[in-house]
Structure 1
Amino acid sequence: MCGICGIVSNSIDVQVLKMVRELKHRGPDNQNIVNLGNVWFGHTRLKIIDLSDNANQPMFNESGDICIVYNGEFYNFMDYRNELIEKGHTFKSNTDTEVILHLFEEDGIECIKKIRGMFAFAIWNKKKEELFLVRDRVGIKPLYYYYDGKLFIFASELKAILKHPNVSKEIDFDALSVYFSLGYIPQSMSIFKKIKKLLPGHYLQFKNNNISIERYWSLPNINQKILLKDENDLVDQLYVMINEAVKLRLISDVPLGIFLSGGIDSSIVATLAAKNSNAPIKTFSIGFEDTKYNELPYARMVAKHIGSDHHEFIVRINETEVIGKLAYYYDEPFADSSAIPTYYVSKMAREHVTVAFSGDGGDELFGGYNWYEWMLSHQKLKMVPSTLKKAIAGVAAIPKKSYKGKHFLTSLKYDEFETFRERTGIFSPSEIKKLLNCELDVTLDFYEDYFKTSGETLLERLTRTDFAFYLPDDILVKVDRASMAVALEARVPILDHKVCEFAFSLCDSLKINGKTKKYLLKKLARKILPDDFPIERKQGFSIPLSEWMKGSLGDLLINALRSFKNKSFLNEVYVEKLLQDHKLGKSNNASKLWSVLMFSLWFNNYY
């Protein structure tokens, strides 16, 4: 894995040196820059395949008129290497990077359709004076860019772009509003007004001072469903596809291991990796002293079953000093608290391996999130008149104390999208107006429009929306930044694009069947996991956030607010009331308070 960056400018611009230094954590093994006239490329390398210096980047073709900087893995590159040699191309390395370079010579930008893997790269064609930026189909690898009409800059992380003195750090307040709504900043937005993300499955062409962006991949059309056939045949087909995806990702010239959370997704990945490995694999798990959040017994069960070299780490509340590091590595406000265990499991794994597999993607692809089942239950009441549902919601809200089912009943007043937003979001629009001492547009029109048009059924709308928003902009951001902070490459077999296409061609009943979420994936799990493994439970790398916020995290929040550099920005009285109510048990405001904490730490870090 690596870090990439570059500048296109009509004047001499050596700021790329500073950008490369800012990305060194992504690639500590080699850092290099190259000047291509009015273009500068920079690269930081983490050695994974071909450990020789011949594999260092930026890399040129034989004639020197095409140059690439590349971050990622092209797992099926050997399928094309010999073919390219037969066509007369010469190779100086054994890397996948050089295969992309020569495929680009043969096929142009269409070569990206041959790549099976995760990637973000830039290619400069000197003859045509054009630059291409490309991001993988799902958004596993990040890629940002800035353009002010004269200066074009790109990089793997925001912090590198901000090293250029001409780049403004002006906050995008629309993005800030979305952050406090969702807990992350989605789609092409970033927290900085002038910096954008390249969307997954897209490429950008920069030529003659103009930007054009094209989509090259998308999920199957909602009408492209697999015709219903024997479930066992589909389980077998799923097994073949995930097994192939895992096997492809075992290619490495450095040690690799598995993040083992104790859930079925990572357990399936670990089991298949062990099956395809010639030596015992290494597995890594995170636990907590609070047994409600501790999944180590289930991880141990799988580790014993596959005979792995198993490693564990207990996250304790006194080790939350890592939070300050997260504010630096994530570059913009990021409110997913599971970044803490993800960082620790990455740090532990890096002491033993350079590559680690994660089980991410199973929930979005196969219908695993709790809010899916919750909203499907809501939908069963759609025949109840809206006036009656609102009345029920009003009555349910009268008791001040929490009780089982209160949240479900009080949310009956919402329509479908409002229910989804309320169930998965953090602050409501009215709460954001109380939180921030500034006028903001707190609508999520783009999010609502996508949700309402993304599928014919509710489950289609839920899974496709999460695949387009929550997965690339929360889950995959979390894994990339936490792993790259310690120079660890994270691979995600379940998000192989062929597995994605298969999953989104399944009918709803193969994802949620009755009360069973991830129905088809669990049928596969029962075939390959230990007989006594409890399939119907899942925790993942979550933390006891509510309890911690009543103690040291609450104190950290108060300190962050008192040192906040823009006192007129946040309504401190409102935040302190949220914290007080949380500590007294009047309401669970942990997610709200965590989002404010991470914003405060980020703001104090950048301003």
Structure 2
Amino acid sequence: MADEIRARFGASVERQMVSDVPIGAFLSAGLDSSSIVAAMVAAVAQKQPVRTYTITFPEKYRVGETTIDDPGVPQRLARKLGCEHHEIVVEPDVVDLLPSLTWHMDEPTADPAIITAYLVCREARKQATVLLSGVGGDEIFAGYRKHVAQGWAEKYRRVPSFFRTAAERALLGLPSLRGTRMKGSVRLAKKMARSAALSPVDAFIRNCTYLDAREKTELYALKSQQMVSGNPASQHLAAFDKVRHADFLNQMLYLDTKIFMTTLNLTYNDKMSMASSVEVRVPFLDREFAEFVAWNVRPEWKLQGRWRPVTKHIFRRAMHSMLQEEV
């Protein structure tokens, strides 16, 4: 299966590369963008270097910060694959872009990824008009921490309530650990503790939100509360109902693909790229490839392991021979 996924993914990337204008790719330290770049290099067969674009930060701002990706990883991969590599250095004056980015987004958005997406597209436009992006890899192969957390939550629900109550008090008393690699895990653990008594569907929806009902009440003015008084999860519940007979991991992936990805990741990538007249293409969402993964890749091949699950397991196996171990 891993070999077939690698071959089909390579074919998807090659289809997305058909263009009459110069083409490039986003490149981070992650599996998805690195795999796209490796497949692009294989497709061009060294006829010309693939253009890659990476966001990085000045070293002086990296001291003591452990959550920023190591720029050395994409550098080494680009060098190994013979890419024409470009780095975009983010300085504090990036905040000056916010009014313009807000105008281009045309809606409230709290994800700072809009900034990096815009900066990459703005720089890439000097050499390329089309960029390939890794959007969709986490949604079809189960790459988010919330997918892992849901499995932990299922096991956690079997713990006697007395011990759960003590654990929840301890978790909720933990600091946020901002600036460390534990930040996301701690935040997710707190959410899991708060939603332990809920059904898997309700717990997943709860863990996908940043504000609970009490926090929204405190935040919104009275008039705003009246405007959003309906059930904000109705769309999510309807989506869950459509795939209620599927394995629960695949139910989560369906929701992520139909709602989270389309309303956030695809939306901001489209708007930020259009702000620089760049077209972003997404090989993971090539219809032929995405449908193959949805219908043929078992849930346990996507998220493998009981206590320390490996995300995107089958895709990691598929691309292992084409990438560096550190990716």
Alpha-carbon distance in structure 2 between the residues aligned to 1:267 and 1:431: 39
| Number of the residue aligned with 1:512 | 303
| Number of the residue aligned with 2:92 | 317
Letter aligned with residue 380 of structure 1:
K
Query: Is the 8 Å Cα contact of residues 393 and 412 (structure 1) preserved in structure 2?
Result: no
| Number of the residue aligned with 1:534 | 326
1:452 shift after superposition: 4.9
1:433 shift after superposition: 1.8
Q: Secondary structure at the match of 2:55?
A: strand
- Go from structure 1 to structure 2 and tell me whether the alpha carbon gap of 1:400 and 1:271 turns closer, same or farther (over 3 Å shift): closer
| Number of the residue aligned with 2:203 | 419
1:304 shift after superposition: 0.9
> Deviation string for 1:526-552 (max 9, x for gaps)?
12113xx324xxxxxxxxxxxxxxxxx
> Deviation string for 1:117-175 (max 9, x for gaps)?
xxxxxxxxxxxxxxxxxxxxxxxxxxxxxxxxxxxxxxxxxxxxxxxxxxxxxxxxxxx
- Go from structure 1 to structure 2 and tell me whether the alpha carbon gap of 1:372 and 1:394 turns closer, same or farther (over 3 Å shift): closer
Q: How does 1:61-460 map to 2 (within 5 A)?
A: 234-277=1-44, 278-289=47-58, 290=62, 292=66, 293-384=68-159, 388=162, 391-392=165-166, 395-396=169-170, 399=173, 401=175, 407=190, 408-437=192-221, 438=223, 439=226, 440-443=228-231, 444-455=233-244, 456-460=246-250
Query: Is the 8 Å Cα contact of residues 288 and 294 (structure 1) preserved in structure 2?
Result: no
Alpha-carbon distance in structure 2 between the residues aligned to 1:363 and 1:517: 9
Letter aligned with residue 319 of structure 2:
A
Q: Secondary structure at the match of 1:321?
A: helix
- Go from structure 1 to structure 2 and tell me whether the alpha carbon gap of 1:453 and 1:392 turns closer, same or farther (over 3 Å shift): farther
> Deviation string for 1:337-360 (max 9, x for gaps)?
211111111111111111111111
- Which one of the candidate residues 285, 288, 311 is aligned to 1:495? 285
Scaled by the length of structure 2, the TM-score of the pair is 0.84
Alpha-carbon distance in structure 1 between the residues aligned to 2:322 and 2:83: 15
Scaled by the length of structure 1, the TM-score of the pair is 0.47
Alpha-carbon distance in structure 2 between the residues aligned to 1:365 and 1:269: 15
1:484 shift after superposition: 0.6
1:429 shift after superposition: 2.2
Give yes or no for the alignment of 1:522 onto 2:297.
no
1:391 shift after superposition: 3.1
| Number of the residue aligned with 1:483 | 273
Query: Is the 8 Å Cα contact of residues 29 and 69 (structure 2) preserved in structure 1?
Result: no
Identity among equivalent positions (%) equals 25
| Number of residues of Structure 1 aligned to a counterpart in Structure 2 | 299
Alpha-carbon distance in structure 2 between the residues aligned to 1:414 and 1:470: 21
Residues 337-346 or 245-254, more deviating: 245-254
Q: Which protein has the bigger strand share?
A: 1
Letter aligned with residue 255 of structure 1:
P
Alpha-carbon distance in structure 1 between the residues aligned to 2:14 and 2:172: 55
1:479 shift after superposition: 0.8
Between structure 1 and structure 2, the one with the greater Rg is: 1
| Number of the residue aligned with 1:596 | none
Query: Is the 8 Å Cα contact of residues 329 and 482 (structure 1) preserved in structure 2?
Result: yes
Q: Which has the higher contact order (CA 8 A, sep 6+)?
A: 2
1:362 shift after superposition: 0.7
1:389 shift after superposition: 7.2
Letter aligned with residue 129 of structure 2:
T
Residues 318-327 or 346-355, more deviating: 318-327
- Go from structure 1 to structure 2 and tell me whether the alpha carbon gap of 1:344 and 1:398 turns closer, same or farther (over 3 Å shift): closer
1:329 shift after superposition: 0.8
> Deviation string for 1:304-349 (max 9, x for gaps)?
1210110001112221211111211111222222111111111111
Letter aligned with residue 138 of structure 2:
D
Alpha-carbon distance in structure 1 between the residues aligned to 2:278 and 2:174: 47
Q: Secondary structure at the match of 1:285?
A: strand
1:382 shift after superposition: 3.3
Letter aligned with residue 229 of structure 2:
D
Letter aligned with residue 263 of structure 2:
D
Query: Is the 8 Å Cα contact of residues 282 and 311 (structure 1) preserved in structure 2?
Result: yes
1:442 shift after superposition: 4.8
Cα RMSD of the aligned pairs, angstroms, is: 2.2
- Go from structure 1 to structure 2 and tell me whether the alpha carbon gap of 1:239 and 1:301 turns closer, same or farther (over 3 Å shift): same
> Deviation string for 1:374-431 (max 9, x for gaps)?
111111233346x557634653367475588661434424332333233221211222
Query: Is the 8 Å Cα contact of residues 364 and 463 (structure 1) preserved in structure 2?
Result: yes
Alpha-carbon distance in structure 2 between the residues aligned to 1:328 and 1:498: 35
Alpha-carbon distance in structure 1 between the residues aligned to 2:242 and 2:69: 39
Query: Is the 8 Å Cα contact of residues 157 and 197 (structure 2) preserved in structure 1?
Result: no
Alpha-carbon distance in structure 1 between the residues aligned to 2:176 and 2:71: 30
Query: Is the 8 Å Cα contact of residues 141 and 312 (structure 2) preserved in structure 1?
Result: yes
> Deviation string for 1:85-106 (max 9, x for gaps)?
xxxxxxxxxxxxxxxxxxxxxx
Query: Is the 8 Å Cα contact of residues 329 and 481 (structure 1) preserved in structure 2?
Result: yes
